[in-house]
Structures are given as structure tokens and as C-alpha cells.
Amino acid sequence: MSALTEIRIAGFGGQGVILSAAIIGKAAALFQGGFATMTQSFGPEARGGSSSAQVILSSDPILYPYVTQPDVLVVMSQEAYTRFTPELKHGGILILEQDLVRTDRFPPGARVFGVPATRLAEELGRKVVLNVVMVGFFGAVTKLIEAGALRQAVADSVPAALQKLNLQAFDKGFEYGAQAMVRRAENGDAEGVLPTLEFL
């Protein structure tokens, strides 16, 4: 984890955006010895059904908890994609719910990863865990936080009765992301900046 990493997760209400942000913050702080903040704003855009959370990870206490230019942007709706992509840091990581976001060009310099998180969640029989699928995928492709820490934070953040389902969702997302990274490495661009990219 670098000194300060800014993350924004955005989508629409009901996708569990806050919980996914809280899991990432908790994983960094509880299980890796770092600091994290999670901030959610509610305003006119929230009234329109949008949901967005900001997470900052740091090796030191965080004085200013507002994200200005995310290093990592996770978008789970077309509207979130349109609104937040311009803020992504050059060379940053853009993670898309690939069935919910349609676009034919990506921001130059971004490393873009697509995941059908909703569909993967539906395969587990509960669409509602798409946010935890997304956390797993996030873990595999960003490598910001150890998989074990994220997994423990998932277990720690959901009701006992839903723990097994959520851990399955995490594993499913993580595996999908790990495979995406393997395929990308085989294509010789694992670490490269990809100006355009079809979904993996």
C-alpha cells in the first residue's frame, strides 16, 4: 500500500456501494495495520438514485478525508462512469461492471478492467452480493490489500447467516480478477498502461 491511495466506488442505490467501501477500508485498517477513511455524500444526485463512496488508504492517519483524484475508480452504472471517469488519475485503474457500463473509448492512460459482477452474483443465486464480488475483483486486480485481509473484512462486515454466501461472492470475484490478470500477463501487458482495451 503506498503512502496515500484514493479510491472511489460509484453506482446506484441498492448495489451496496457503501458496504463495499467499508469492507475495503476495514481490510486496510484492521488487518494490515494501516489507516483508512470512508466518506459518503448525500445530496441532489443521491435523490436521483446515485450512490458513491470514497475510501482513502494510508500508512498514516488521514487528515483530509476527501478524494480529489482517485487512483482507483470502480463504477457500477453508466451514470457513474460518465460522471467520475474524468476525475481518474492519469495511469489509474478503472474497474467497470461490464454489463452495466457501455462505452467505446476509455480514458487515455487508464488501466481498465471489466467484470460482470451482477451476473457472477446471480450465479450464486443472490444478485445482492454483486458488491462483494466487486470487492474480490478489486483485490485481485489492484493488489492494494492482501486477499486474506479483504476476505476477513468481508466475514467481519456481514451478518453471520450471510457469511458463507458473501465469502463465496468474494472468492468468485477474486478468481475472475486473478484469471483476468493471467490473461493480461500472457498478452504481455500486465504492468503496462493500456490506452484502449476490450474487456477481459
Residue among 72 and 180 whose Cβ is closer to its own copies: 72
Least distance to its own copies, CB of residue 31, Å? 9
Least distance to its own copies, CB of residue 29, Å? 3
Pairing state between β 4-12 and 50-58:
antiparallel
Nearest to 29 by CA among 8, 6, 58: 58
Least distance to its own copies, CB of residue 189, Å? 34
Residue among 52 and 98 whose Cβ is closer to its own copies: 52
Q: Under rule CB under 8 A, which residues in 61-90 are in contact with its own copies?
A: 61-62, 64-66
* 43 sits near its own copies (criterion: CB under 8 A): yes
Least distance to its own copies, CB of residue 152, Å? 12
Specify the DSSP class assigned to residue 148: H
Report d(CA 50, CA 47) in Å as an integer.
7
Pick the binder of its own copies from 1, 4, 12, 30 (CB under 8 A): 30
- The 3 state secondary structure assigned to 163-196 is HHHHHHHHHHHHHHHHHHHHHHHHCCCCCCCCCC
Contact letters (x/-) for its own copies, 94-133, by CB under 8 A? ----------------------------------x-----
Residue 39, judged by CB atoms within 10 A of its CB (0-12, 13-18, 19+), counts as: middle
Report d(CA 154, CA 156) in Å as an integer.
5
Residue among 19 and 110 whose Cβ is closer to its own copies: 19
Residue type present at position 32:
Q
Contact residues toward its own copies (CB under 8 A) are 13, 18, 22, 25-26, 28-30, 35-43, 46-47, 61-62, 64-66, 128, 156, 159
